[in-house]
Structure 1
Amino acid sequence: MSTERVGLYPGTFDPITLGHYDIIKRAAKLVDTLVIGVAMNPGKNPLFSVEERVEMVKKMTLEFPGTNFEVRPFNNLLMHFAEECNASIIVRGLRAVSDFEYEFQMVGMNRRLNSEIETVFLMASDQHQFIASSLVKEIAFLDGDITKFVSPETAKSIVERVAKIRTEKG
């Protein structure tokens, strides 16, 4: 029996923000391997393809040498994906009370699906509590400065994607 503790941090990461980065950095201290599951989630109408989001996350995790990360896309039930990853812990970040209400419901459902996998909540650091990917995209589409919310490389990708969308719309 393996004693390695595998954690799973799932999300859409469209785009990955400094808030996600903070949770990744802190979650990595709790497990031997952290799998970052990038949800395909076409219902959210993502700005970036799942392949692009996986690459963005991989680039961010390069900043943690010596830490065991896997970045994998998924398009199935979270608990099934957690089982595929051999995860014993699901890591979720919380920003506000509204996040807690949603996550509380999800934990209840997930426990019914697999009671062996625990969910661990990490509170967002105070400087990241307000950051949401949807708000970052909205600010970018309104020509606001997003450099305080995402890495420089991610900001560049967002600005380029917004410009491309504007060009295509004419």
Structure 2
Amino acid sequence: MRALYPGSFDPPHLGHLDLIRRAASACEQLVVGVARNHDKQAAHPIEQRVTWLTTLTADLPGVEVVAFSGATVTFAKERGLRVLIRGLRNHADFEAEQAMATVNRSHGCDTLFLMTDPLHAHVSSRLVRMVAAAGLPLAELVPAVVAADIARSVAK
């Protein structure tokens, strides 16, 4: 199976990494698509997010990290990918993702849902940004390289 795991990954956290590793083990090729959302101000430049994820997935065969903009389903189809991977932390995630999955399916892409590991179910990129802004430790939320880079940028 060849699949796309899309997201803003702003920043990538341990929940993202767990899903990438699990999806990669089930896929011949997994494209991690780092979305550029022109309607939202990103906390971290897209180049930084791509670099983080490329570093963090370097040991995973068949994983490619790329930036994209525009509709996820359009990007997937341009890459010849017909399967989207999405993580679910809770019931609220399911509600939102179910609607998107229906739209994506009508455009030729199926969605596979992976349940988030309970250890990471509370983690979101928004939570990471809030904890970082408060100057609190990030070690239990993000990989070490991400925590170090964020700590340096907050210290500036």
Query: Is the TM-score greater than 0.5?
Result: yes
| Bucket of the pairwise TM-score, normalised by the shorter protein | over 0.9
Q: Residues 16-165 of structure 1: matches in 2 within 5 Å? A: 16-64=12-60, 67-114=61-108, 117-164=109-156
| Superposition CA RMSD, Å | 1.1
Q: Which aligned runs of 4 or more in structure 1 are off by greater than 3 angstroms?
A: none
Aligned residues: 156
Segments of structure 2 that go 5 or more residues without pairing to the other structure are none
Find the residue that maps to 1:29 and give its secondary structure: helix
Identity %: 37
TM-score by length of 2: 0.96
In the TM superposition, residue 162 of structure 1 has moved relative to its aligned partner by: 2.1
Aligned equivalent of 1:167: none
Deviations 1:103-152 (A, max 9, x none): 011011112222xx210000000101000011011001011111101111
Amino acid corresponding to residue 79 of structure 1 in structure 2? V
Bigger Rg, structure 1 or 2 = 1
In the TM superposition, residue 76 of structure 1 has moved relative to its aligned partner by: 1.4
- 8 Å contact 1:35–1:85 — kept in the other structure? no
CA distance in 2, matches of 1:135, 1:44: 17
Amino acid corresponding to residue 132 of structure 2 in structure 1? A
In the TM superposition, residue 69 of structure 1 has moved relative to its aligned partner by: 1.1
In the TM superposition, residue 86 of structure 1 has moved relative to its aligned partner by: 1.2
Segments of structure 1 that go 5 or more residues without pairing to the other structure are 165-170
